Structure 1
Amino acid sequence: MQMSRRLFGQLAALATGLALSAPASTALAASEPVTIRYLASQGSLSAHELADALGYFKDTGITFQNVGYAQGGPASLFALASGDVELGSAATAAVLNSIAGGNDFVAAYASNGINKGTESIFYTLEGSPITSIKDLQGKTIAVNTLGAHLDYTVREALHSVGLPENAAKLVVVPGPQLEQVLRSKQVDVSAFGYWQKTFEGAALKNGPLQKVFGDTDVLGEIAGGFVVLRRDWIKAHPDAARIFVEKSQAALEYARLHPDETRALLKTALTARNENPEIAQYFTGYGVREGGKAIPRDLQFWIDILTRGGSLREGQLKAEDILYDPATFAAAN
């Protein structure tokens, strides 16, 4: 599935109607035209997609090509490593595991974050005896993919109450089916990720669900995942990389300040992609810090957890070596 010119024409028309303007850039255009291929996520609009719809990439030489959907972050990282796309997007823990496994990726910008307004929530049916993290032992939890944010959140949650990290069973269920499998009692708990608030909102409209816990209860306020680029691609296209990150972060800030307009753009995109446009009304934001900026703790928190669990060696990864900073990247590489 490719993002059609018609779709971006519709988004651009809507953006123009909302009287939007692109922010100033430290680099007006890439040194040569660059096409960035990527995989979309069902029910959502990535910050670079939003930036493109807002016209932020106009006259920069950067264009985008949507080449399909990613079931989850690990699939996106695999496509990036294989050269099928120019950018990937995944939960922080998945990004770090991929880098530790030999992929020379750079965390370009925080794709989403979690706070009390936008967090992943683990739901069970109303009246269920499952009311706390301790009650998850032996239960079945639906998540969108394994090896990503929800997977590692469950592990950390169980660890936090003294249970084995594998005390619950995880099953993979696509976002649009999370409500169905819970209400039909095929699983005990469905986890709606922070990037799946649209699906969560639609589920709650159909009837109350019982919250077990949210990921902020375990992780605090933190970046949930990152859009990542290959280090060699950044070296080959330094101007494009800088503009890409700058404009994407500007779109994150736009969404924070203009939630209603962002929901309108999301609705238009979902309609054009033949997804359910009505779920756009439940979009609560990207959950990132002001200005769309990440901080070292967003990476270091998970580095410490993965080191504790033996997935990383002590000192194997450092946040400052992974987090993209255009001011220092050229000198360091």
Structure 2
Amino acid sequence: MRFHRSALATVLAGALLVTSALSGCGKASSAADGKQATELRYQGWVGQVTLPELAADLGYLGDVKLKWIGNTISGPQDIQAATTGDIDFGGAFNGAIVKLAASKAPIKAVVAYYGANKDTYNGFYVLNDSPIKSARDLIGKKIGVNTLGAHAEAITKTYLARNGLTDDEIKQVELVVVPPVNTEQSLRQGQIDVASLSGVLRDKAVARGGVRSLYSDYELLGEFSAGSYVLRQDFIKKNPDTVRTFVTGVAKAIEWSRTTPRAEVIARFEKIIKARGRNEDTSTLQFFKSYGVAGQGGLISDKEFATWIDWLDRAGELKGKQVSAADIYTNEFNPFAANGAAK
């Protein structure tokens, strides 16, 4: 699986059918007869507690209930499912959202949910004895990522370009899709040369030893919110109160996780995961530090989309399409917007 321009286009699968798909999907939770939705369908992540799940457990969603329909390992897949109406909200890397928005998909980002800081970041690791020391050493090598067309790919291309590799040389760096829970093992077994690791999976791998960091999103870009939750615009129009409750709940959950002692946050996560009864391993929760969201309460700023609009445009991915950061997101439903827009 070579690293082609078409890799980022995977996020657009089905996007051309969005209009027809929306006419027949999502009826179960869309407003009818003036009534707003009280149930939001979503996809989760194995062994993790998402911000909406935390918000629900803390009582921040009021009468709005969450309906789990399965798990995902891919942000692009998650927002695609939201676009076609299979779920009501989905989250992904902001660059993937830009690509979807460029295709005229009727979505809107409403709150940030993950990002990078000194404690929480996406790192790219090699084995201690690996001969890979620099960006140029990655030519012809394999990098394990959770999905194509998303965060890990964008960060990798940014790292390679900043270190002087040409477009042709960058195409020789191979991205291999590996489930996150298997990425560390794949690196240690020599199936890949570099592993993209984040969150508790990264910390657990580092704690075991034998690996070293090559680059990270935090080193490249500093603190920033990297991904947002999106909803369909028709859903927002029909269910403004539900959307406000959802965004407010997520925003409050972000701040709760920031201000609550770490041990208490982890204990809450363990309780949530055990209560849902999916036979999940909770040992990795001990490594949780933060969600990494930059803006207060998940407020979104122009730069968090403009950065990737510029990058995708330079890479030729937008094919001349004009995309405005301000058109992709809104802070309208976030109670922290009253304190001033995210900077």
User: Contact 1:111/1:227 (CA < 8 Å) preserved in 2?
Assistant: yes
**Change over 3 Å in CA distance of 1:327–1:140 after alignment to 2:** closer
Partner of 1:234: 236
Task: List aligned pairs for 1:197-276, cutoff 5 A.
Answer: 197-258=199-260, 259-271=262-274, 272-276=277-281
User: Contact 1:300/1:319 (CA < 8 Å) preserved in 2?
Assistant: yes
User: Contact 2:247/2:333 (CA < 8 Å) preserved in 1?
Assistant: no
**Change over 3 Å in CA distance of 1:267–1:208 after alignment to 2:** farther
* TM-score normalized with structure 1 length: 0.83
Task: List aligned pairs for 1:1-333, cutoff 5 A.
Answer: 32-58=36-62, 61-163=63-165, 164=167, 165-193=170-198, 197-258=199-260, 259-271=262-274, 272-289=277-294, 290-312=296-318, 316-326=322-332
Distance in 2 between residues matched to 1:66 and 1:281, nearest whole Å: 24
- Superimposed CA distance per residue, residues 110-130 of structure 1 (whole angstroms, 9 cap, x where no aligned partner): 110111211100011112221
Residue 118 of structure 2: SS of its match in structure 1? coil
Distance in 2 between residues matched to 1:313 and 1:117, nearest whole Å: 36
User: Contact 1:31/1:240 (CA < 8 Å) preserved in 2?
Assistant: no
- Superimposed CA distance per residue, residues 197-217 of structure 1 (whole angstroms, 9 cap, x where no aligned partner): 111222223223111111122
Partner of 2:11: none
**Change over 3 Å in CA distance of 1:220–1:134 after alignment to 2:** farther
**Change over 3 Å in CA distance of 1:299–1:285 after alignment to 2:** same
% identical equivalent positions: 35
Distance in 2 between residues matched to 1:88 and 1:128, nearest whole Å: 37
User: Contact 2:92/2:228 (CA < 8 Å) preserved in 1?
Assistant: yes
Residue 201 of structure 1: SS of its match in structure 2? helix
User: Contact 2:111/2:331 (CA < 8 Å) preserved in 1?
Assistant: no
User: Contact 2:102/2:321 (CA < 8 Å) preserved in 1?
Assistant: no
Once the two structures are TM-superposed, the CA of residue 183 in structure 1 deviates from its matched residue by 0.6
Distance in 1 between residues matched to 2:47 and 2:202, nearest whole Å: 11
Partner of 1:11: none
* Equivalent AA in structure 2 for residue 183 of structure 1: R
Structure 2 runs not aligned, ≥5 long: 1-33, 335-343
- Superimposed CA distance per residue, residues 248-281 of structure 1 (whole angstroms, 9 cap, x where no aligned partner): 0110111111232221122233333322111100
* Equivalent AA in structure 2 for residue 55 of structure 1: G
User: Contact 1:127/1:210 (CA < 8 Å) preserved in 2?
Assistant: no
Distance in 2 between residues matched to 1:325 and 1:188, nearest whole Å: 40
Aligned-residue RMSD, C-alpha: 1.9
- The alignment covers a number of residue pairs equal to 294
Partner of 2:19: none
Structure 1 runs not aligned, ≥5 long: 1-29, 329-333
User: Contact 1:153/1:215 (CA < 8 Å) preserved in 2?
Assistant: yes
Once the two structures are TM-superposed, the CA of residue 184 in structure 1 deviates from its matched residue by 0.5
Distance in 2 between residues matched to 1:130 and 1:270, nearest whole Å: 38
Q: Which shifted more, 229-238 or 284-293?
A: 284-293
Distance in 2 between residues matched to 1:270 and 1:166, nearest whole Å: 40
Distance in 2 between residues matched to 1:135 and 1:291, nearest whole Å: 40
- Superimposed CA distance per residue, residues 53-88 of structure 1 (whole angstroms, 9 cap, x where no aligned partner): 111113xx3111010011201111221122110001
Distance in 1 between residues matched to 2:233 and 2:258, nearest whole Å: 29
Residue 211 of structure 1: SS of its match in structure 2? strand
Residue 228 of structure 2: SS of its match in structure 1? strand
Residue 312 of structure 1: SS of its match in structure 2? coil
* TM-score normalized with structure 2 length: 0.81
